[in-house]
Chains A and B, each alone.
Chain A
Amino acid sequence: MTPLELLIFITQTLVFPGFAYLFLLALFTEWYVRKLAARFENRLGPTYTGPHGLLQPLADFVKLLFKEEIELKYADNALINGTLIILPALFIAALFVIPWLGFSLVSFEGDLILVILLTGISSGLLYAIGWFSKNPYSVVGAVRAISQYLAFDIPLFILLLVPAVITNSLSISTISHKLWPSLLANPWLIPVWALSLGLVILVEQAELEENPFSIPHAEQEIVAGYFVEISGRRLAFYDLARDMQILLAGSLIGVTFLGLTWNPRSPLEAALNFIIVLAETLLVIFELVLIKCVTARLRIDQVLEAFWTYVIPLSIFILSIAIIVKGGLFPWV
């Protein structure tokens, strides 16, 4: 690696499409979600800071950094702080794998599994925040979160394997490049793909704990759930992690299920790829916010029953159909 290549790599890691870019995009995602939800609910949303309130999430972040941090005597504060530093780091690591420019900073065969693993660890960390806070509400929220977690993560993993099966690859970049060529080569896969896309958005909604699955932090039942004791700088980091999580959900589903990118040969093509990936991400987040705004919260027993009896078998069924069709096991295909 020549010094110039090293310099470019470091710039990419720190600026674009690395830390600075992901930080700003996460804040933009928060603005987008807040504004969309507000417009769906016949409100205005952020308006004052910046044009159309674009800088409001940044202002909130900076303000929270300066706010008083209330440390509970009986909570494991060191563990909570550690968890809240690791949490955004996990999501940033996962976001490095997304091919923002048609290619990603880190890409290897199997990075899809890495992203799923990182999101799994993050769910565990959210549970830990609630447990270490030692508040009755946060413990109830944490227990609710962990009991949902299995029911959501299994179908999410299975459904993310559907595009992997379609494209014969476990690398997110390759899946994104080869999705449409593979689908067009074997049109029987298109209904399977459409079904899995519809289901994966529902499952991702549950993974993000938004309505109708906002049970772990149901405000009217258990106040704020697992992050009830988080304030000040900790809350800033928690909010950042939350924005990163939404961004990851949108971009991962956008890239793996909508594809449409290719390996760029010129800066112009890279820019085109960038616009496509961003549009896909915002489209998926739009769907997620839409579901959030048109539903009421369900009860935890109803959700668990629905997921274990319907969603998990259905996702296994979709994956098997994808494998069968891809493997050419139907004589008429």
Chain B
Amino acid sequence: MSIIELIFGPQHPALHEPEMFRFHVDGEKVIEAIPRIGYVHRGIEKLFEQKTHVQNIYLSERICGICNVAHTLTYVNVIERAGDIDVPPRAKYLRVIVAELNRLHSHMLLLGAVAELMGFTTLFMLIWRDREKIMDLVELITGNRVISAYNTIGGVRRDIDSDKADKIRKVLLKVEEEWKEYKKTWMEDPTITRRTMGVGILKPRDALKYCVVGPVLRGSGVKSDVRKDDPYEVYGDIPFNVVTYDTCDSWARYMVRVDEILESINIILYALDNLPQGEIRRPLVRRLPEAEAFAKTEAPRGELVYHLYSKGGFKPYRLKVRTPTFANILGATIMFKGERIADIPVILGSIDPCFACEDRHTIVDLRSGKSFMLSSREITRKFSRGSKP
């Protein structure tokens, strides 16, 4: 049988953002998957250089609406490291609470959307109904449902009192109870397990070779979590488990997220019980010295990296962002090999793609028509003057 090139996207019901995949298929079997990224490249990294450090907090959370807290958290971390700014302990705990609420709603969003990708509309509706409770909690703490604008340089913007803490506890305990039911559905429902088990295998060796991060890596049985390996804020003091599954298929990647929701609820409850008293932010620092800093956090989709180079003053000289989907998309091309066309949405959903965050562009030489990428060494030479990588 001849090999057909099946074009998937940039407009397709299974894709919630514009991105194109070219699949080489032999009948129903996928032989090769070639991603084509860059449809929604917004030039945010360049825009960072033209705005002040304080304005950039609000720009950074617009990289991704769903995991906006993770972005501001990493951004303020990188600024605080560059400027050697101290954060009060209460703010650190509050940051953890909001970051984990963010993880909760992001995982719920994905698991609901994937249920819909498999045609399971009921599960989609029910999960998104319960996600709404988490969104209400985010609104209660930060004043906004989605874009929270909560973290700021040197602390957080709002405090919580005991009434709010009690309400959060009450809602989370209820969500935990309901989520145990959903976990049972994800583990036992015959149609779900048939569609996801053994589909999109990513062996641990391949996972490490292609540098995948977050739940995709943990779904391949590799115990890796920035919160544990390189604790930031107060994750070092909070007891929690790193969830791993070793079946290496799409089901494992979904189950990692299902279990992480339960872990996140426990983290928030622990943080609420051990919330220290004190101030929530230091006076705002607007000017940074000449410095280079690096920060990484565990965003809902995996390791999120910010690299700042400041030449002093109010604006950054260069700010590099590496979002988790950018790391995972190469791993996904391995998962597609040998699977069927009908499995494409399920596998694509299992990496929790966020295309708008990861879009990069290619540099094209107009005279020769050649397109090329800059290697990391060239980027270092170009942007990181005076410091060695």
Residues on A lying within 8 angstroms of B by beta carbon are 37, 40-43, 211-212, 214-215, 218-221, 223, 293-302
Are A297 and B125 in contact, with the CB atoms below 8 A? no
Give the docked Cα–Cα distance between A298 and B344 (Å).
13
Question: Residue-by-residue, is B339-362 near A (CB-CB < 8 Å gives 1, otherwise 0)?
Answer: 011111100000000000000000
Residues on B lying within 8 angstroms of A by beta carbon are 12-14, 28, 115-123, 125-126, 129, 189, 191-192, 194-195, 340-345
Interface residue from A41, A42, A298 paired with B195 (Cβ < 8 Å): A298
Across the two chains, which residue of chain B brings its CB closest to A42? B125
Give the docked Cα–Cα distance between A37 and B121 (Å).
10
Question: Interface majority SS on A: helix, strand, loop or mixed?
Answer: loop
Interface centre among B28, B116, B122, B341 (most CB of A within 10 A): B122
A-B contact pairs, 11 of them (CB 8 A): A41-B121, A42-B126, A221-B14, A221-B345, A293-B122, A296-B119, A296-B120, A297-B118, A297-B119, A299-B194, A302-B194
Interface centre among B28, B119, B126, B192 (most CB of A within 10 A): B119
Give the docked Cα–Cα distance between A297 and B122 (Å).
12
Are A42 and B189 in contact, with the CB atoms below 8 A? no
Across the two chains, which residue of chain A brings its CB closest to B340? A299
Quote the shortest CB–CB distance from A209 to chain B (angstroms). 11
Give the docked Cα–Cα distance between A34 and B125 (Å).
15
Interface centre among B115, B129, B192, B342 (most CB of A within 10 A): B342
Closest 6 CB pairs of A and B: A297-B119, A296-B120, A296-B191, A296-B118, A41-B125, A220-B14
Interface centre among A219, A296, A297 (most CB of B within 10 A): A296
| Chain B contacts for A294, CB-based, 8 A | 122
Quote the shortest CB–CB distance from A175 to chain B (angstroms). 33
| Chain A contacts for B14, CB-based, 8 A | 220-221
Across the two chains, which residue of chain A brings its CB closest to B15? A220
Are A218 and B119 in contact, with the CB atoms below 8 A? yes
Give the docked Cα–Cα distance between A306 and B5 (Å).
30
| Chain B contacts for A215, CB-based, 8 A | 342
Interface residue from B12, B125, B191, B343 paired with A295 (Cβ < 8 Å): B191
| Chain B contacts for A41, CB-based, 8 A | 121-122, 125-126
| Chain A contacts for B117, CB-based, 8 A | 220
Quote the shortest CB–CB distance from A304 to chain B (angstroms). 12
Interface centre among A37, A219, A295, A302 (most CB of B within 10 A): A295
| Chain A contacts for B118, CB-based, 8 A | 220, 296-297
Question: Given contacts A295-B120, A296-B119, A296-B120, are A221 and B125 in contact (CB under 8 A)?
Answer: no
Give the docked Cα–Cα distance between A221 and B118 (Å).
9
